[in-house]
Structure 1
Amino acid sequence: MMGAARQGRGVRGCLWLLGILGGSWIAGQADTLYTVRAGDTLWGIARRFQVPLPKLLEVNGLAEDSLLHPGQRLRIPSTSAPEPSTHRERLWVRASDVVLRSLPSTQGKRLALLARGTPVEGLAKVGQWWKVRTPSGQVGYVAGWLMGSEPPAEEAPSGFVMASRAYVRQGPSLESPPLTLLPRGTKVTLVAEEGGWYRVLLKDGRQGWMHMSTLRTGHAPSPPTSGGSRIVQIALRYLGTPYRYGGSSSRGTDCSGFVVLVFRSLGISLPHSAAAQFQRGKAVAKEDLRPGDLVFFQNTYVRGISHVGLYLGEGKFIHASVRGHKVRVDSLSDPYYASHYAGARRVALE
């Protein structure tokens, strides 16, 4: 009897252990494992994966005041994840260099870059993401809005950063917070235009806004002289500065004062007069203009040389405009400026 009892307890113990191991294995198959990074919080992780915080705490045996450590592994309950749609369809990549990720989140590992026009098989829709299979058989997740149900008709227009660096902002305004800073020559996809701004698509899938003066459309810009690049970089910092007659500071400036302000930052002193600045440097033909050259206009509000700006490239120039009441970008082909154009000068920085 005693032997039979011990044998029964042994069988029950084995069954109990098997049940525990089986439950752990099933949970491991269903849940996602996330590795904590520096700066992560429990609330932030729960929000990122759309998981109720109490559920996240429960499955990991944590309390709300538990401390997280980089490298710590957390289980993300699958029961709270969006139910995937199993509808399959043929999809095409709509943008250039779209990131294929290991998870339906920007926190997922980068698996590959997909070229614009790549055909993929849409396996399932998970929230705002598509689970896809690439032509090579690789499976991962792509942001849904970067995919289309038809091949793209033509190459999306591109722009290249023209200045040494340029901000991508969250909205089409100089007051809008920066999203990121791009170096010269960076390629972006142009999505839309609005009031002197381009809505752009970045390689990582984010969208933002860039002022038209900071981009060159078409082909990548040829490197300007180092001096011209520095002049443009400094000039663009003052976009939106109020126009103030006689001024030469970030609080307000007139046209020649704006040129004085930019060159002062480079250690060069110029007279606070458009007519006097027209006597500096060397003359440049219009077809030989380079970024950083001074462009002059005549007979605007008085006879003779009366207005000055700085050439940016692509037929655009930046200036303190009395007509626009601020530092802004205009085109040399604008009928008003074309009719008053007087010439250009190049001031050496050395």
Structure 2
Amino acid sequence: MKKGIICFFTVIVLGVGLSRVVLAKEKQPIAGKKAYIDVSVATLWTAPNILRSVDLPSSTNPVDMRKWTSSMSLEQQLQLSDDGMLETQALYGNKVTILERNGDWVKVAVEGQLTPRNDLGYPGWMPIKQLTYDKKFAKKKDAPFVLVESPTAFLYKNASLKKKGLEISYNTRLPYITETKQAFKVLQPDGKTAWISKGDGQYFQSEKSIPYPTGEDLVKTAKKFLGLHYLWAGMSGFGFDCSGFTFTIYQSHGITIPRDSSVQAQNGTEVPLDQLQPGDLLFFAYDEGKGKVHHVAMYIGNGMMIHSPNSKKDVEIIPLKTKGYYEELAGARRYLVPDPINALKH
């Protein structure tokens, strides 16, 4: 009888594939393996095991992003940046490469977050229990998908949308399975399925099928987040930092730009300040604009800009010539091209 139970258990584990449990319990080195984010938003830290008690809701599976962001005092929010505690965040279903392991933590590189720090993606430490691997999900990399277009949205356990599951972020992509009149059925990173309201997401055949945006399209998307409180290293509808905000707006429209403001400022096409167009990125630097770039905003037209400023504020629209910013204006970059169809051919 015991042998039968053991065999049955083994079949279940093998059937799941390289699951969250297997990843967490694996004793051998796992560097180089691919995995997928198994929580709505995974926060990547500069080192393992440096979390404060207030940060615990961000390290569980599932996470509670709202509890974490709302429970931090201003001083605790500022400590994240002042002490250099965070690197970036990754969204549900994002693919990562495991670089190294330290106990229950792994250092990963987030695919699609461009940085000169690592060719595989943006690096940082996270709890291994927030990762999973499922062969069915992995095979859907180039399959049609549903892109979340609401700031945040719930997944549901049934097509009637009455039983809520995870609350996930804007710009999350999940493989498409089928649909009803009111909902899409999607595949989750662990191989299970869920439903999302058609009011919260849009179907795309492929990444290339996302319509090329105008500057006005980018501005319209950015305005969805007005009033959202800043989060250092934030990359989601639960909170952005300045460059996570601009990165996400562009990526959600099918354009990938570098993750950090200092690198965003070195790419794209330089734009004279008297020729700004909506969607252009504005960069601000120390020493009256001549030093290191420390902030980015998006120009929205009529001398105004939108940005996620700092831990004391929310996403806001202010004049470009606002005191404290205009003195540090270092330049502007354009990531949209005038003829995207021909540009893609070259």
TM-score by length of 2: 0.34
Relative contact order: is structure 1 or structure 2 higher (C-alpha 8 Å, sep ≥ 6)? Answer: 2
Tell which structure's C-alpha radius of gyration is larger: 1
TM-score by length of 1: 0.34
